[in-house]
A and B are shown apart, each in its own frame.
Chain A
Amino acid sequence: MEIETVVSRVHPQWAIDIDHVGKTYMLDSGKELVAVENVLLRIEKGEFVALLGPSGCGKSTILRLVAALEEPTFGRVAIEGRDPAELSRSHRLGVAFQDHALLPWLTIWKNIALPYRVAGKTVDRQRIADLLALVGLSGFEKARPRQLSGGMRQRVSIARALVLNPDVLLLDEPFGALDAVTRRHMNVELQRIWSEERITTMLVTHSVEEALFLADRVVVMSGRPGKVVKTINVPFDRPRLPEVQRLPEFHHLADELTLALEPEGH
């Protein structure tokens, strides 16, 4: 462990290096809540990693630490060897939240253009048009978020996360609030989009099928305090077609992950 830590600090080859990280919250009652404990997770450049776990297992905390929305209590998070806050400050981070977080007073086009405005860059109209086509929303430029369905809003949110060609993409249960059919459809779309962009991606989810279908590697976490209990490599080639989900190997891996998620339910 010691040697591994030292090596990772000398060679910042990891896109995301979550190095023995712990996060503790002080509750109002004066008690301490350990959200995550001793999490070691390294993500390579261009790798898609899914953090899988039950609600309240601290997987969203990990994502918020990587997004520099929280500070770790123990350990260190580094992105390409640097402080994660530097990544967001230099506008190289893309995040899609569970709540789409679109601005209701802006049109779809202006919502996707927002990262350019915030970064003080000139808006690349071609890039926005391409992304709208990629997420299948060409023609909706002038619509407002409330006029779209939940699935469409999430696709806009993903387009907004991708617009600045970020080095790191963080997806916090982006389809968590959708019904099962829409969700499956969105996963197919996201897989297609990701296969074209190949950005270092961390997805937080509680769906076994979603994690397996999208990720190169699935990391299973257990709750309270959140710990990594299992990691599996997903062997399927890209681009993945929806049929992948019907392969015996897919079901075998899904069973393995489900078992890791709820060992007591065995």
Chain B
Amino acid sequence: MIRERLTSIIFGALGVALFLALWEVIGVNRLAGLTWPPLSQVLQFLFEPARRGLFLRAMGATFTMVACGYLFGLIAGAVMAALVHMVRPMRPGMDKLASVVHAIPSIALAPIFIVLLSREVTGIAIATLNVFFVIYIATTSGLANSTQAHRDLFQVLGSSRLNRLLRLDLPAAMPALSSGMKQAIPAAFIGAILGEWFGSSSGLGLLMVSAMQNFQIPLLWSAVLIASTASLFTFAVMGLLERFVYARFQ
């Protein structure tokens, strides 16, 4: 068991090292042209003290947007799932609405949001929408995860429906919800950065767009590297939370 874990960690680290080395080799030898800089050049650019302010401001703006969108989507998704769980007739309609909204690419909705809301909150709105869908699906399926024996127990104990929701259905939904919370992390990043592309006045998305238009290749790669690393890191943290929740609630 520990041996297997160790092997998988070693192979994982090897894979990452290989990927980074390949990045460097392709960049140094210009194998993919001028737009592929070596990793070392990107890192050097990224950690230049003079640019610290620029990156920190962009990160602050984007991460705030990701966090807000994630939080709103999480609350809206979980509350809506609990609501349709309690008010059964709402369930089929809400399921369909969620699927329809999910089926529309969020990039197509972005211009509408910009017109309706403002440029600054479009990223939050798209992130909220993306996260909402993932959390709604995870929570509705999770709320049905209680066992028949437990449902019988609550009926025999004379439980009210609200009491059953709080003491049985929601705890039983925690594993599914924690998986959803992990999967919703990249969805929140996509939403926020996409929103910024459409003309925010700050953020990593803005850096990407302006770097692209001005052919500032190291800046473009730096912004992408920051966004990807942040998403992967948060995803990994949520993975740990998920493992804890599974151990606790199952």
Q: Residues on A close to B: CB < 8 A?
A: 67-69, 88-91, 93, 95, 97, 99, 101, 103-105, 114-115, 117-120
Which secondary structure characterizes the binding site on chain B? helix
Q: How far is the CA of A168 from the CA of B147 in the complex (A)?
A: 24
Q: How far is the CA of A69 from the CA of B250 in the complex (A)?
A: 25
Q: How far is the CA of A103 from the CA of B157 in the complex (A)?
A: 14
The answer on a CB contact under 8 Å between A88 and B157 is yes
- Given A117-B167, A118-B157, A118-B158, also A101-B248 (CB < 8 A): no
Q: How far is the CA of A173 from the CA of B32 in the complex (A)?
A: 71
Contact with A along B134-152 (1 / 0, CB 8 A): 0000000000000101101
The answer on a CB contact under 8 Å between B171 and A118 is no
Pick the most buried of B150, B157, B167, B248: most chain A CB atoms within 10 A of its CB: B157
Interface size on B, residues (CB 8 A): 19
A-B contact pairs, 16 of them (CB 8 A): A67-B152, A67-B156, A69-B152, A69-B156, A88-B155, A88-B156, A89-B158, A91-B157, A95-B153, A97-B152, A97-B153, A101-B147, A101-B152, A103-B171, A118-B167, A119-B158
Residue of A nearest to B152 (CB): A69
Chain B: minimal CB distance from A123 (Å): 14
Residue of B nearest to A88 (CB): B158
Residue of B nearest to A120 (CB): B163
Chain B: minimal CB distance from A99 (Å): 4
Q: How far is the CA of A109 from the CA of B94 in the complex (A)?
A: 39
Residue of B nearest to A69 (CB): B152
Chain A: minimal CB distance from B100 (Å): 33
Contact of B163 among A88, A95, A118 (CB under 8 A): A118
Q: A101-B153, A117-B163 are in contact. List 5 more A-B contacts (CB 8 A).
A: A68-B156, A93-B157, A95-B152, A97-B153, A114-B167
The answer on a CB contact under 8 Å between B149 and A93 is no
Contact of B156 among A90, A95, A104, A105 (CB under 8 A): A95
Q: Chain A contacts of B250 at CB under 8 A?
A: 104
Q: Chain A contacts of B157 at CB under 8 A?
A: 88, 91, 93, 114-115, 118-119
Residue of A nearest to B245 (CB): A105
Chain A: minimal CB distance from B167 (Å): 7
Q: How far is the CA of A88 from the CA of B157 in the complex (A)?
A: 6
B159 CB–A CB distance under 8 Å: yes
The answer on a CB contact under 8 Å between B248 and A93 is no
Q: How far is the CA of A16 from the CA of B86 in the complex (A)?
A: 33
